[in-house]
Structure 1
Amino acid sequence: MHRQAASASGIATPQSTVWWSRLAGVVAGLAGLAIADLASWLFAPTGSAVTAVGQLIINLLPASLVNFGKDTLGTADKPVLLGIITVFVLIISGLAGQLEHRRKLGGAVVFAVLAVLGMVGVAARAQGSLRAYLPTVVGLLLGYLILRALITRLRRWRPRRAAADPSDTDRTAAFARRDFLQLTIAVGAAATVGAIVGRALASAANAVADARSKIRLPGAAKPAPAVPAGAELSVNGLSPYVTPNQDFYRIDTALQVPVIDPDTWSLRIVGMVENPIEISYADLTALPLVEHLTTLTCVSNEVGGSLIGNALWLGYPVRELLARAKPLPGADMVLSRSEDNFTAGTPLEALTDPDRLAMLAVGMNGQPLPIEHG
């Protein structure tokens, strides 16, 4: 005899069907997590909801409990916490599958709650960046659409109402069963691979974000003058004199923001120079740094456009680095190459002009360079 569970419509649902609906929810939840982590890697290194919620939990727990976890689990404390959060999400996703099978959009409510919880965690560490919320929204939205597709096939396989012709029901159920199982297996396999890859990529990005959060910038050997009185006009619709980091424009063609560990970063000055040099991040921040309020604008910014910002930058003058490298006669430009192979050529004269104060920046408005602007 098959056990049955009552549905919202009052029609009994076989217990085995309930478990199939829960499996559909787990698969959809896993797919949503995988998509969210991959989207985090692409668009917002600090936007991994699982990691953000884990960090929020750590911040809210009593220090004694956090220390107990470290003493008991050692370096496995964070992976264990992230694993617990993931299992919790998958269990709740299974419940979403059961609710979706009972009533259309029933699972949407559960996925929406998970999205809100994820965004709360992201809000605690994303410093107001709207881009950081995108992975959570995209992941759970697509996860729910996958759930809808799975539950639709499950209903065709195991309808709650018996058909008038049992032979038609058997034929339809056979095709629907195969359709449901094939999609479930395909999505489950893809989600598992995607979750592993996405978690690895997101973990690397979050490791860099964590390393950045631990940076303590040195004071400037030559501070910038104070902002003149009256410079802040406080006019409605007019941006502030100093643009906040989260509002500073960003224009590039990179799908993935480069995430660079400051412990492994280095700068090489080679080519037509007498003394090729290479300095690390620690070497750079140990130099006498200067502050300067500098306005940057995109070449494509229109008059009155938003692609412009003014920030207090902390860094080391490029002319001083070039003086150490000693460019050879005939050298007239510097070719800069970024981690993601973006290149830019700058006249040597502009970089060595003391009135222009070209600098290699390490700080922006009193904070280490944001990943999006580093």
Structure 2
Amino acid sequence: MESNRRVPAWAAALTGLVAGAVAIGMSLLAAGIVKPAAFPVLAVGDTAVDLSPPWLKDWAIRTFGEADKTVLIAGVLAVLAALAAGTGVLASRDTRHGQAALAVLGAIGLAAALTRPGAGPADAVPALAGTAAGMVALARLIHPRFVRRSRASGPDAPRPWSGGRTDAETADAETADAETADAETGTAPSPASGAPQAPRADTGQAPRADTATGPRAEEPYGTPVPAVMRAGEDLHTLDRRALLTGLLGGAAVAGATGLAGRLLSGGTEVDTARAGLALPRPSVSAGPVPAGTDLKIRGLSPFFTPNADFYRVDTALIVPRVDPRDWTLKIHGMVDRPVELTFDDLVRRPLVEADVTLCCVSNEVGGPYIGNARWLGARLADILRETGVHKDADMILSVSSDGWTCGTPADVVMDGRDALLAVAMNGEALPVDHGFPARQVVPGLYGYVSATKWVTEIKLTRFDRDEAYWTPRGWAARGPVKTQSRIDLPGPGAGLPPGRTVIAGVAWAQHKGVDAVEVRIDGGPWRQARLAEAPTADTWRQWALDDWDATPGRHTIEVRATDATGYTQTADRTPIAPDGATGLHTVEVTVA
């Protein structure tokens, strides 16, 4: 294999980056054709999420919030870019080394794709196609044709590299080389370089200098030239125009294949199908919310959280895009009659509207990972009863289209609450980010044990036989939502004018209901807050304290809620793991 050491490091790194882009573009195209979830970059990222320890996931959620996936994807791409650049540098020394590095990267992507839940032989195609395309691109871009040859001649020809010798040693070596050359040609020895020379008798011309004067010469971009380079010998320079043409061509291939892969992944079709979905009328309507449900205080969370503002916490690096025409829900396991429902089957069933607040177990005390919406869907309990659930089945193991699993206590779903297979949210088809075309909604449980998005499979089983995604990672198998409250205004660190000030927020105790909210300022007595109406026990409840006379200085405000069972939330602070945080939300403000 021909060495490419005359290609400079910066050019080699660029060729590696472009070859890597070609590999990613081709793998995305192949994934769009065979299976979008088999895209190697996605598979590697998902594997990294699965292998990350719980403390790292918690730190990422606390630090980056809902941008944690964007940060992770950016990190994966940055690592891939660095590895691709390094691959180009390796290939500049020996193409085989660069090809071997690409093969290793491809093998990592292949292993990640084949070990994802539900993977099959087709999942290998994107990684193999991308690796092959990257190798071809690297071989073409790093080819020596980008190094141009020219002849060194004349008095300005480069001076030979001294190899680390002193000027005197170099001069002696040049004299010796000249004498050797004259001896070979039968002429008299030439004086040292730089001395006047007499005309040669046979030609009447001054002898040609064997070496040129000037600074130390090296081949362009750092590779040494031979110890003595004479006029007329080959010089090597980078053909920048040819290299730029090759790089632009590779980038164009990468962009075209990547765009085609994105289109083939079904994103456009799913958006079109969602936009054209006509929602059926509910058999059981939730009706308008009672007057006084929303206090309409500026800065206070509205009773219904707009879809665009609803929190999103899940393990999906790239949101699954499931076409409802292809969607099915398989229900099996400990049942008498396994079934498989299509989306049309689901929406033809009697549908129920229900107002339900969802909360993530990763929500810190006073945190943002909670929201309330009006959901439309089929009662999950009714569907399960039709399958003949065995009496000893105590776990509903649901599976998302991306392989994530969730274990829901069966008795909670079957106890009469509005546990739904939801198809709509706040009057429109489920947003893709929130589970389109169908998801689970179960009041009273944290999302990690109830709220499977993009659900495609339900298995009736037992907690002593199966584990869901988060359980072996240290989280509790069952996750009832804890009674909690939050101060929305004033915000932490707010500066306030003296005088009458409103303190307001929300409290929740799903499927129990909030009976009272109290506020305390600077460790003083607890004061009863005014409560908004609540249509059901499954939603949060707004509260407000309207009569605080704020005096100049720094003040600490605390809030606590009491649910319908008589339980008042504890002041003891506990972390979110293993089953949700506890403690009182506290904010500090300055009045001046």
Q: Smaller-chain TM-score range? A: 0.5 to 0.7
Report the Cα distance in structure 1 between the residues aligned to 2:332 and 2:267, rounded to whole angstroms: 29
Q: d(CA) in 1 for partners of 2:426 and 2:157? A: 73
Q: Is 2:420 the partner of 1:359?
A: yes
Equivalent AA in structure 2 for residue 302 of structure 1: E
* Pairs aligned (count): 229
Change (3 A) 1:225 1:205: same
Decide which of 324, 336, 346 is 2:398's aligned counterpart. Answer: 336
The reply on whether 1:262 has 2:262 as its aligned counterpart is no
Q: For residue 234 of structure 1, report the CA deviation from its aligned partner.
A: 2.3
Q: Deviation digits for residues 45-100 of structure 1, max 9, x if unmatched?
A: 9xxxxxxxxxxxxxxxxxxxxxxxxxxxxxxxxxxxxxxxxxxxxxxxxxxxxxxx
2:130 corresponds in structure 1 to: none
1:194 is displaced (CA, Å) by 4.0
Give, in whole Å, the separation in 2 of the partners of 1:197 and 1:217. 34
Q: Root-mean-square deviation (CA), in Å?
A: 3.9
% same residue? 44
**1:372 and 2:426 equivalent?**
no
* Compared CA separation, residues 181 and 347, structure 1 to 2 (3 A): same
In structure 2, the CA distance between the partners of 1:284 and 1:172, relative to structure 1 (3 Å rule), is same
Choose 311-320 or 236-245, whichever is displaced more: 236-245
Evaluate the alpha carbon distance shift between residue 172 and residue 312 of structure 1 in structure 2; reply closer, same or farther with a 3 A threshold.
same
Q: Distance in 1 between matches of 2:380 and 2:268?
A: 30
Select which of 343, 362, 380 maps to 1:318.
380
Distance in 1 (alpha carbons) for counterparts of 2:287 and 2:401: 33
Structure 2: runs of 5 or more not aligned? 1-17, 37-65, 79-154, 159-218, 222-234, 436-592
2:253: which partner in 1? Answer: 192
Once the two structures are superposed, the pairs formed by residues 1-374 of structure 1 within 5 Å of their partners are: 177-179=238-240, 181-182=242-243, 184-203=245-264, 204-354=266-416, 356-374=417-435
Alpha-carbon offset, residue 364 of structure 1: 0.4
Q: CA deviation at 1:189?
A: 1.5
Aligned pair in 2 of structure 1 residues 176, 262: CA closer, same or farther (>3 Å)? farther
Q: Hey, what's the Cα distance between the residues in 1 that align with 2:245 and 2:292? A: 64
Q: Deviations over 1:188-226 (max 9, x none)?
A: 324413432333224421111111111010111111031
What is the rounded CA distance, in whole Å, between the counterparts of 2:277 and 2:156 in structure 1? Answer: 70
DSSP 3-state at the match of 1:209: helix
The CA deviation at 1:341 is 0.4
Residue 185 of structure 1 and its aligned partner are, at CA, apart by 1.8
Q: 1:188 to 1:287 in 2, by over 3 A?
A: same
Letter in 2 for 1:195: A
Distance (whole Å) between structure 2 residues aligned to residue 365 and residue 295 of structure 1:
12
Give the CA deviation at 1:179: 4.6
Structure ranking higher in helix proportion: 1
Distance 1:233 1:184, change over 3 A: farther
Q: Distance in 2 between matches of 1:249 and 1:166?
A: 70
Deviating 4+ runs (over 4 angstroms): 165-168, 171-177
- Name stretches of at least 5 consecutive residues in structure 1 with no aligned partner: 1-27, 46-129, 143-164
- Letter matched to residue 372 of structure 1: D
Per the alignment, residue 581 of structure 2 pairs with: none
CA separation in 1, counterparts of 2:421 and 2:306? 20
Q: Distance in 2 between matches of 1:269 and 1:215?
A: 24
Change over 3 Å in CA distance of 1:350–1:180 after alignment to 2: farther
SS of equivalent residue, structure 1 residue 329: coil
Alpha-carbon distance between aligned partners in 2 of 1:190 and 1:175, rounded to the nearest angstrom: 26
Give the structure-2-normalised TM-score. 0.34
